Chain A
Amino acid sequence: MIDYLRLSEWGITSLIALSPLVGMLLALLLPERDGGRAIKWGVFLWSLVPLGLVLYLWWGGLYDPNATAPSNPNVAVIQLVDKVDWIRAPIRADYFVGIDGLNLPLVILTAVLGPIAVLASFGITTNIKTYFALLMLVQTAMLGYFTALNFLLFFLFWEFSLVPMFFIINNWGGPNRSYAAFKFFVYTMAGSLGMLLIFQFLYLATGTFDLVRLARLGAGIETINGLDLKGLIFNYVERLGITGWLGTNPDFYAGIVFWAIFIAFAVKLAVWPFHTWLPDAYSQAPTAGSMLLAGVMSKMGAYGMLRLALPLLPDAAQEAAPAIAILGLAGVLLGAYAGLAQWDLKRLIGYTSINHMGLVAIGIAAAAAAGSTPLGVDARAGAINGVQMMMIGHGLSTAALFYFAGALYARTGTYDLRHFGGLRMPMPLFAGAMGVAMFANLGLPGLADFVGEFFIFLGAWATLPLIAVIAVIGLIASALLLLLMFQRIFYGPVNTRWLGLSDLSRFELFTALPLLLLLLVFGVYPALLLDLANQTSLALVSIFAR
């Protein structure tokens, strides 16, 4: 076996990724009586299975966060790999999944949010069977996406996450759900077309869909006929005879490949200006849909950039980094400011996501950008660690915010901030719990998002100082935005209409508490999570710190 892969003994990775499918079967088979009680609890209990497996993976010593390849200390070992032949001829594609520092935090996030999203869906009353089946399907698609290491598999899961989410928005969403669902679906689909074409092209150029191998080719650790990925691309282009009229600069073609991949993920990450599907989709989706969309699916974009765009075309990424950072900066600023002008609670939370995902884009750009600093590779690795922490923190805090927004809607029947006010009086506990989520989202130290922010700025200052300086304005604006949101809901004199609202119920507390606790734990002691990611981050950025 190759030394940068370590096979799993009993396929835990595949079990994690595919086990929600059993939940889907459960949903389809269990009887839909008594408001779907059996389905709801059955699916909830089953959704604890992937979570349990992930926790076992995390704490059971199955994963060694510091493993590097014996032959090259700059390569982190991908572990718990399941790799079997899938398609042999005429093209070759393996079923290939594995865990490393890049995807483990996100797998944890997905597995944690799974059961919580199920709990958040207990209020669903129509087509219960289908709804929960779709929810489990999304779960599998997301987990599969994060663990897949072969492009064909990766892309299959990518597209698969779209379909159930489309129906969840379209059939259980708000008043404008149809428009939102189509926009979400078509936008993402259109964005990923370029990536699909590019990977077919890459297959023709290299003969493999294996993402790990492609990354090694990209970094120049492995070569085919003495050529790295950029060379192979150019070689193939030459054979096609396009160079005659597009020039003979290899970087140009690498750039095209990079941007085609990048745009697919930028749409998913909602990088400005590809972000306008997001407020619609987030605000129209049912509560659990919003939680998963904001909590996990937007991270699929960032993950794709880290897994594909950066390692495959490091030179092009380095060249593109300032442009990416500027797009991220636009998202940070315009996201926060556009949020200031929103009156719909869920749209507003959506805009905070655009703001945060802008920071993620800046972090990714900072890790790749050219330049040398006294901290060297540590600043870049710090930026990637920051991106990871930001994704987890944002996933948890935004999911919590959407959960509370849904709970407010269930009580008041509105998302319009103009209708609230003074709710802290009848529901103090609710205000406190939502306050924790809000302050986490705002980047308060002691909660996870801040750690992400700090490390992203650490990296950004090292390589893109000007961007970092301007981006802090977004931190102020997003704080203002969130405080205004909180104030409009909870402060001021209470409208007598809402005096009778019930406070946070035990069930709601039970649902939201894991999110809030994790935010606190990761915020106070980030090593818990960052230790998992650090070695891989280091390996990822080692190509850029030349």
Chain B
Amino acid sequence: MHFFFEWAWLIPIFPLLAFVAITLLPPIGRDRLVSAGVAILALAASTLLAWGVLVAGASQGFGPHVAAGGDGPGAGEGILDFGGAFTRSFRWAPVGTGILEMGYRLDAPVALMLAMVTLASLCIHIFSLGYMAHDEYPRHHQRQSRFFSFIALFTAAMLTMVMADHLLLFFIAWEIMGLCSYLLIGFWYFRQSAYEAAKKAFITTRIGDVGMLLGIVLLYNQAGSLQFGTGEGQIFNPAFLERIRMEPGVLGFSVAAIIAVLLFMGTIGKSAQFPLHVWLPDAMEGPTPVSALIHAATMVAAGVFLVARTYPIFQVSGVLPFVAFVGTFTALFAALIAVAQYDIKRILAYSTLSQLGFMVAALGIGAWLAALFHLLTHAFFKALLFLGSGSVIHGMEAAVGHDPAKAQDIRNMGGLKRYMPTTFWTYLVGYLALAGIFPFAGFWSKDEILLDAWNHATVVWIALTIASFLTAFYMTRQIVVVFFGNFRGHQPLAATPPVEHSEDEGAKVHEPLAYEAHAEAVHGGHGNPHESPPVMTFPLVVLAIFAALSGFANAGLFFGIHWLAHFTGVEAVEPNLMVAGIATLVAAAGIGLAWLIYRPSYKTAQDRDPLAAPLGPLYRAMERKFGFDELYQLTVIRFNYALGAAARWIDERIIDRFVNLTGLGTFFVGRINFLIDDITLNSGADALSESTIAVGDGVRNAQSGKVQDYVAFIFAGAIILAIVYVYAL
């Protein structure tokens, strides 16, 4: 079975080749079906390989397990070492006397992630085939082919990152994902909201990324390597971890703490944790399959995986409580916002923020396995929910036209259960999994997190339990408002697009866009919503199966299954019926309350939310996402543009003025010098005038304006100067 390990490097290469082929080979790129086919086939091959790796790894391990030796004083105690691993690396660059090698590494968490990413992404690829079918552009644009090439690259980058055995390769793939998210969020680049969201995503995550880059260079400086592993010279080496734990950095923090915090900045950006969470909801501007990709299989999962991957450093750093705080706060904060959103995708987006908060909090309280488990199950049910919402939007467009502001507003929906049964039932599975209802996947993974919190951190447990309640509540609200009641889309809410801020628009006047009218004509209409074609519902069914069953990988309660714990070599936590009971009760309470409140509400699309009146200002604050976008707009962004203006002012008004004055001064001195020369030398030197005239003629000839003459003279001048230097000195 070493076959799968030896050839595992092909897992990211297949989608990468698909990207290259679609982008560079016109016969493929010209046709949307061929491009999609190439991307899907490539990913299917990767999926097979990835599951092969998982099966092979599960049946025979990844290689000898090198125990993290106890040679260092007090080292290795309780520090994660990821079990056995299979690695291959190649030379990347010389660094002085050393070399920088990178490659791939297969171990238990990697195999699990590979299996999840390939499968979820494959479903998303297939779904896109149906979803993007109506996205029409002038023929030569090949926009749909472009779409498939981008999502293939996105997946390739994520797979590379997961497999990387080296933090720099990890970072490279991480950044390329940032590029893909930029390209895909801004896929409809002619819409201002889309390109602004794309830029926002890129810049916001980059703020975290530069912190991560600093963390990486600091780690490299300390360890002399960035290779994962416990061996000599690798970054999880017990003796090394002990050293950076003890070594003081700045402000009383150890070096390990500084590295961990800097790396964690990357997570805050990429996994959209507070306070860098603002980009993720806006990322909904991309086509819905992209949202699924970003929210489930790639991008945001990357941030959590970063902490999971470098966990030994976090374990010795002492910053885990900070990690737990950020995660818990985000879990609660985002769940609150989700309660008061109307855009079907935005609700899911805030739900993602909240669930990522769960994972980060889990990592923060030491529940590494629970975090990884939740990452995996969440990927399936969130991909399912996003694709389901895509199916809903796709169906809605038949009723309200190709206008995201209308087609995505849950107030315009209602009663969709009747029109789109497959979407409804699969969505329901995803919903139950997310709400944490037994026996769906989310129940098991969330329970594991709550269990660890119960055991180690009561405050976190309380906060996460409240967040679980809110999760059940807002998801029930969504289900009820979208799928139950009457269809309200025939009298849709007049769309009021959010005001976009842009400092840089200037006085730009555009002619109306011809293409948007075209899109409207192709895809408008005022019929009833309809079920999506099988190419879209099939992936939903596959994902629903995983959303329902993947929790059984580690179903400790009642079933006594600890496969995941066994596979990753982490000690299983004793199940606790009370924790699971409380969690279930809380979820049921959330569901019941939301059902009572929302079942009778929304008779028409224009109705107000039933919570708006009783909650008053709190509801308005939640609706406005607690105003962080506006806050950043007023502070950070405005400050940056002011700095820009200031820097330009310094250049033009101070430095350049000084330069120009110096120049003028020199001219002035030259002029005076000339006058003095003129007077002193020429006064009474009439005899020279004859020759002056002759020289003047010569000069006149020289000022012929022909460049070649100038060059010749300057060349001659330089040679004369050289001779003067040489002989006169």
Contact = CB atoms under 8 A, between A and B. Distances in A.
A334 B651 CA distance: 9
Interface in A447-496: 450-451, 454-455, 457-458, 460-462, 468-469, 472-473, 475-477, 479-480, 483-484, 487-488, 490-496
B189 A424 contact: yes
B729 interface: yes
Centre residue among B207, B217, B218 by max chain A CB count within 10 A: B217
Given A276-B655, A457-B213, A472-B211, A483 B504 contact: no
Interface residues of B, number: 79
Contacts of B222: 374
Given A163-B714, A439-B179, A445-B175, A421 B648 contact: no
A483 B199 contact: yes
Nearest to B711: A163
A91 B93 CA distance: 44
Interface stretch (A102-110, A231-239, A531-539): A531-539
Contact of A421 (B95, B508, B641, B706): B508
A373 B224 CA distance: 10
Interface in B187-237: 189-190, 192, 195, 199, 202-203, 206-207, 210-211, 213-214, 217-218, 220-222, 224
B210 A93 contact: no
Given A186-B663, A484-B504, A276 B202 contact: no
B179 A167 contact: no
A40 interface: no
B647 A127 contact: no
A79 interface: no
A375 B220 contact: yes
A257 B651 CA distance: 28
A525 B92 CA distance: 6
Centre residue among A335, A380, A475 by max chain B CB count within 10 A: A475
A446 B161 CA distance: 13
A418 interface: yes
Nearest to A167: B707
Contact of A90 (B98, B176, B727): B727
Given A156-B718, A163-B711, A527-B91, A337 B647 contact: yes
Interface stretch (A44-52, A129-137, A258-266, A293-301): A129-137
Given A276-B656, A493-B513, A495-B510, A377 B97 contact: yes
A58 interface: no
A538 B510 CA distance: 56
Contact of A468 (B141, B214, B641, B708): B214
A90 B96 contact: no
B650 A338 contact: yes
A33 interface: no
A378 B511 contact: no
Contact of A130 (B23, B141, B647, B708): B708
A273 B718 CA distance: 29
Contacts of B189: 424, 490-492
Contacts, number: 228
B702 interface: no
A325 interface: no
Centre residue among A93, A338, A380 by max chain B CB count within 10 A: A338
Contacts of B224: 374-375, 378
Given A458-B220, A462-B221, A341 B644 contact: yes
A484 B726 contact: no
Interface string B695-722: 0000000000011101100110010001
A75 interface: no
Given A479-B206, A491-B186, A495-B511, A530 B93 contact: yes
B718 A159 contact: yes
Nearest to A535: B94
Contacts of A334: 647, 650-651
Interface string B163-192: 000001001110110010010001001101
B74 interface: no
Given A418-B506, A479-B202, A338 B91 contact: no
Contacts of A343: 506
B676 interface: no
Contacts of A341: 641, 644-645, 647-648
Interface string B245-259: 000000000000000
Nearest to B249: A465
B237 to A, nearest CB: 13
Contact of B96 (A446, A476, A534): A534
B597 interface: no
A164 B711 CA distance: 7
Contacts of B203: 476, 479-480, 483
B515 interface: yes
B190 A492 contact: yes
Given A337-B647, A537-B96, A497 B511 contact: yes
Contacts of B140: 428
A171 B707 CA distance: 9
A381 B96 contact: yes
Interface residues of A, number: 100
A446 B176 contact: yes
B12 to A, nearest CB: 13
Contact of A491 (B146, B195, B514, B726): B195
B640 interface: yes
Interface string A213-247: 00000000000000000000000000000000000
A492 B510 contact: yes
A152 interface: yes
A87 B199 contact: no
Given A183-B659, A461-B217, A527 B190 contact: no
A390 B484 CA distance: 59
A483 B190 CA distance: 15
A487 B218 contact: no
A338 B652 CA distance: 10
A454 B96 contact: no
B650 A91 contact: no
A531 B94 contact: yes
Interface in A402-448: 418, 421-422, 424-425, 428, 432, 439, 444-446
Contact of A337 (B179, B192, B206, B644): B644
Nearest to A457: B217
Nearest to B660: A183
B535 to A, nearest CB: 26
A478 to B, nearest CB: 10
Contact of B218 (A380, A425, A461, A530): A461
Contact of B195 (A378, A425, A476, A492): A492
Contacts of B651: 275-276, 279, 334, 338
A191 to B, nearest CB: 12
Listed from nearest, the 6 A-B pairs whose CB atoms lie closest are: A340-B644, A381-B96, A378-B96, A337-B647, A445-B172, A338-B647
Given A338-B651, A499-B514, 11 more contacts: A91-B725, A156-B722, A273-B655, A337-B643, A340-B643, A374-B221, A421-B508, A422-B513, A425-B515, A458-B95, A458-B220
Interface of A: 28, 87, 90-91, 93, 127, 130, 133-134, 137, 152, 156, 159-160, 163-164, 167, 171, 182-183, 186-187, 200, 203, 273, 275-277, 279, 333-335, 337-343, 373-375, 377-382, 385, 418, 421-422, 424-425, 428, 432, 439, 444-446, 450-451, 454-455, 457-458, 460-462, 468-469, 472-473, 475-477, 479-480, 483-484, 487-488, 490-497, 499, 525-527, 530-531, 534, 537-538, 541
10 contacts: A164-B711, A167-B711, A337-B646, A340-B641, A381-B96, A385-B94, A455-B93, A461-B217, A493-B516, A499-B514
